[in-house]
Amino acid sequence: VRLHETAVGDETGIALGRALGGCGKLTKVFISLEGTALTDQGGKALVAGLNRPELQDVDLTLHETGAGDETGFALVRALAACDKLVRVCTAFDALTDQGGQALASGLTRPELQDLDCRWNCVEIGDATAIAFGESLCGCLRLRKFTLGMAGAKLGNAGLNSIAAALASLPELTEIWLYLPGTEVTRNCVDDMERQLQRPGLKIDYD
């Protein structure tokens, strides 16, 4: 479902949530509502429909909407029912550390192989990154990790937590970090790259 930059809003989010709830054997979901009038009211209803036990691939883009912490909390509850997830891609820009921490903590999945979180939110920072670090330690089959926190209140402590977790993942082959406008220093990035350096692992940083 691609409805980005249209006039749709909460009523559409609610309707999509109801529709998803009727899909008993759903394995893959792609929804882009970027640049719409969606708020947490519709966001919560939308993501509640993702609690499908057979779901393996979730791609949810909510950039440039009003969907924030409440939607994040609801997404954690929904994904808790999905024990077959191998790929999760989420995009937010209205989260705070409260929602960011909850969502990051809820992404621990031993079977997860591809985790893509583009959370370019000015109100998240080290607390969310540290929660990511704790969560990633449980993603032992992860192969690809993408994190965008452009403009966030992220510092060296948060990135160090993520780096330590990534270093413990044996199957990781690709890391992409997009962190412009944060407080992360170049020295911290260099330290991370040295920590993670090993054959077969590609690291891209912007």
Residues 122, 154 contacting (CB under 8 angstroms):
no
* pTM for the predicted model, two decimal places: 0.95
Helices (H), 22-115: 40-48, 69-79, 97-105
Confidence of residue 153 (pLDDT cuts 50, 70, 90): very high
Percent of the chain whose predicted confidence (pLDDT) is above 70: 100
> Kindly report the CA angle at 42 between 148 and 30, in degrees rounded to 5?
50
Mean pLDDT value of segment 123-141 = 96
Confidence of residue 5 (pLDDT cuts 50, 70, 90): confident
Taking only the tens place, the pLDDT of each residue in 44-93 is 999 999 999 999 999 999 999 999 999 999 999 999 999 999 999 999 99
